[in-house]
Structure 1
């Protein structure tokens, strides 16, 4: 198998592709435009007064701290777990590979609900870090695991033959090859931390998002909420800029059928018990503790509490599927532009797609409410509007996954098809798209997972009579009816399992 480090292509994108991406980007930026327009109505003096309050400084400190501490912790947990189960002689590697991805099936607010019912005193930054990192580290673990399974083992063998120790091989050979996976997973985690509401609300940890939701609930589209929203959008721009700068312009792809042989496993030796203890501890904290709490409360559930469960399951499934399909359709053009034609323009457009996703779902929802009522009243409180909200909120999940998938498909294969007389569009459909199917499936599963667990936007935008598992769970849990919330929590977990299984299956045998 031959490895290639591909430099950015100089071929300009087609005009049609640019037009499509620009139009979609304008649609994606509707929530940002809503926040800017609402803030402009406030005026400079009042805006300065609102933003210079001590409360804003406290929220800024909490939000920045949860990012600065939370993202590195999730990267450490995700990459460390992936390396242990894929590159070492850890006993029961297959079992731990599955166990480590299990937390992805538990929504963050369900995990927070579980911890809050077990440890009522959990709160603040410590509680937020505990819940968020345990809920989101699989978003780094999965792409890291997939990349490790696709690495050419000859690179590591060459390094060892030159006398490098295992630690040096890991730091100088393996980790650089994981850069795209780490940055992509870290970006998704960061955007989730910026927009997380339910998990932090349960444990009383105040961030910009929780404060905005409270402000909107009390004053609807008041100036305080709008001013906080613009700060949150600026934080998102900073996060996106850091990720884009760190990612650079290089892409990696391998031409060949895959790894010719399995990689040489690192012997843990005396560190084996410590590695097992670490993975078991992480799994216990992330999965066992919240699920034991949910199951305990479910034993107190009365039959009448199950009314509407089936309807909520059907509505959740249909809306999640629509959101997944929509996100793939919207993300694929910009992923293609960013990967096949990287430039300053493509980075700007790609960033525009993700800015809105950092805003809390309630702002996205209120923006769509305003637009539909003023421009297209017939779309107000319809499944189409809910789907649009899901696409905006969860687009980074699809975008990062598709971008990584395209980066691993060599352009030379498509060029060879063209050289044989196949038209460009047909060459893409016959060669590139089939190779991209695993990434498309993974992207759809990730978006469907998020959509099934989405709460605030669904409450505002769903058609009258629509019930989802997340909204029914929140209605009961926020009323301290933990027994009534338990069946919906369990259903959310069960509904998430197939998507998580699909995501995990995509990492098996995945090569570059």
Structure 2
């Protein structure tokens, strides 16, 4: 329309309406999430190429043999047991820290989070060195105490944004405290608790170090054996495909249990006064129960490492302080790069899964979870194949290792983004849009400000986990570069336990930094609850 016509009619060029702009925003978000999920699915594509390119009879024989069924039963049993234990203990711990008159709750938040800083293989090493525990129960014990905080932290964050008025109403209607919690509060925190439980289950599926040290034969043990000892990549790829299918099934089950969750989050209502539950004569048993997980995950391996460090057991060997510091710096740098990659990939997937629930968003979210269900050696080999075939210049570079970390631990970031955005009260966004704010402005001024603590916790969790990753690091790290995990592995392989102990202790100390930072939101939760009381 010409300027003269505009002046005559008083009507300017037509702008797209709100519905059209929403459609464009959704299309852009879907496209971005598709690209991110496609990158995260590279390991699965590699497995499919290996399986489809192998002899069909050999693949079928690997899948239907009795040994595969035994491994499946063992893996499913361990995963279910650890996930259930972490869900119960994690939710109970979060409730005790936020809803009771427990003294020193802020300190207890930090203490109960410290197990995240301990790699499962280090914890298993400590238990093997000091106790006769082995097999299923040994693996169950170690993996449970190391992973409980994965449920406790998101549950505490959800409790911070939950509306306590719902539970108060249930209590006034005659419900018991337990029933009121299940009918009111649990419905609000369920997505966060189940998201943490899903991360626990996927971690158990992919863990190798703890099950190997405990001599428990799971899928990861068989896959590593096929890759390293038998050199049977067809068998390893077939078993890895089954493991990936288990991971996808877990994601589907978690989504069904989560249900059509209606967001109840409120940044205002959650600060309503609440009278804490008086522990009374249960105070001492509660303190002992809260101490159980940190003792099992931190104190036991710490004592074992201290023995080797002091030369009272094993072989004491001098340690180069410069190498130790250099490995620590490299570990932090690689982990930070991986966390940024995970954040970039997780934002579109998490936003799409939270704001536009559909089969497409569900499929993209499921695809992003596959990496965590696969052993690190499978993800590492797939990215070696990808880099050599597509981008040879990135082979054995810091960029490829950071990308591997991002793919491996993307579910932790996706879960944090989705759960955090779910907790943002929809009415706040509607008000901002009604006042003329664009979708970008609503995201930056409203959604991101409320959800960022949870999203940042997910990024820290990725960095923390990346610091402890071993198999993918061994395959993809730049030539001549070591991290604390690879140096620890190299020394323990040669039975130099005295020299390996400092690397293990420094690894735990370095990982404790992000673990403590993860408690900031949880500390804010217990502080607000205490002030409200």
What SS is found at the alignment partner of 1:286? helix
1:166·1:266 contact (CA, 8 Å) conserved in 2? no
TM (normalized to structure 1)?
Answer: 0.93
Task: State which of 299, 302, 324 in structure 2 corresponds to 1:288.
Answer: 299
Matched, 1:345 2:356: no
Task: For 1:105-120, list aligned pairs within 5 A.
Answer: 105-119=117-131
**How far, CA to CA, are the matches of 2:224 and 2:263 in structure 1?**
41
Question: Contact 2:308–2:497 at 8 Å: present in 1 too?
Answer: yes
Q: Does 1:474 align with 2:485?
A: no
What is the CA distance between 1:212 and its match in structure 2? 0.8
Q: Which residue of 2 aligns with 1:397?
A: 412
Tell me the equivalent position of 2:70: 58
Q: Quote the Cα distance in structure 1 between the aligned partners of 2:455 and 2:80.
A: 30
The answer as to whether partners of 1:229 and 1:359 remain within 8 angstroms in 2 is yes
Contact kept in structure 2, 1:249 and 1:342, CA below 8 Å:
no
Q: Provide the C-alpha distance between the structure 2 equivalents of 1:251 and 1:132, rounded to a whole number of angstroms.
A: 32
Cα deviation 1:403-449 (Å, max 9, x = unaligned):
11111123333333333333322332233222232123201110000
Q: Distance in 2 between matches of 1:424 and 1:76?
A: 39
Establish whether residue 193 from structure 1 lines up as the match of residue 185 from structure 2. Answer: no
Write the distance in 1 (CA, Å) between the matches of 2:57 and 2:376: 28
CA gap of 1:431–1:279, structure 2 versus 1, over 3 A, is closer
In 2 relative to 1, CA 258–174 (structure 1 residues): closer, same or farther, beyond 3 Å?
closer
- Mapped to 1, the partners of 2:256 and 2:29 lie a distance apart of 24
Residue 6 of structure 1 aligns with which residue?
Answer: none
Residue from 323, 327, 331 that aligns with 1:312: 327
How many Å apart are 1:219 and its aligned residue?
A: 5.0
- TM-score w.r.t. structure 2 length? 0.90
Contact 1:398/1:444, CA 8 A, preserved across alignment: yes
1:325-340 matches, cutoff 5 A: 325-340=340-355
- Deviation, 1:92, is 3.7
* Total equivalences in the alignment: 501
Residue number in structure 2 paired with 1:497: 512
User: In the aligned structure 2, how far is the partner of 1:414 from the partner of 1:170?
Assistant: 28
**1:175–1:394 CA distance, 2 compared to 1 (3 A):** same
SS of equivalent to 1:465: coil
Gaps of 5+ in 2: 1-21
* TM-superposition CA deviations, 1:482-507 (whole Å, max 9, x none): 21111111111111122111111022
Which position in structure 1 is the counterpart of 2:138?
A: 127
Q: 2:145·2:296 contact (CA, 8 Å) conserved in 1?
A: yes
What does residue range 119-158 of structure 1 map to in structure 2 within 5 Å?
119=131, 121-158=132-169
**1:211-226 mapped onto 2 (5 Å cutoff):** 211-220=222-231, 222-226=233-237
State the Cα deviation string for residues 225-257 of structure 1 (Å, max 9, x = none): 111111101111111110111112324243443
Q: Distance in 2 between matches of 1:275 and 1:256?
A: 29
* Structure 2 residue 219 is the aligned partner of structure 1 residue 208: yes
- Structure 2 residue 183 is matched with structure 1 residue 172: yes
Task: Tell me, in whole angstroms, the C-alpha distance in 1 between the residues paired with 2:272 and 2:96.
Answer: 19
Which of 273, 276, 280 is the aligned partner of 1:269?
Answer: 280
Structure 1 residues 255 and 84, CA gap change in structure 2 (3 angstroms):
closer
When Rg is computed on C-alpha atoms for both structures, the one with the higher figure is 2
Deviations 1:360-386 (A, max 9, x none): 111111111111111211111111110
Q: Secondary structure at the match of 1:267?
A: coil
In 2, Cα distance between equivalents of 1:256 and 1:468: 41
Structure 2 distance, partners of 1:146, 1:241, is 24
What SS is found at the alignment partner of 1:36?
helix
1:32 aligned onto 2:44: yes
Aligned to 1:507: 522
**Conserved 8 A contact 2:158-2:423:** no
Please name the residue that 1:5 is paired with.
none
In 1: Cα distance, 2:398 partner to 2:392 partner = 13
Indicate the larger mover: 193-202 or 319-328. 193-202
Say which of 15, 18, 28 aligns to 1:16: 28
Q: Is the 8 A contact 2:371 2:410 kept in 1?
A: no
Within the candidate set 63, 85, 96, 2:108 is matched to: 96
| CA contact 1:149–1:508 (8 Å) conserved in 2 | no
Q: Give the RMSD, CA atoms, in angstroms.
A: 2.0
CA distance in 1, matches of 2:246, 2:499: 37
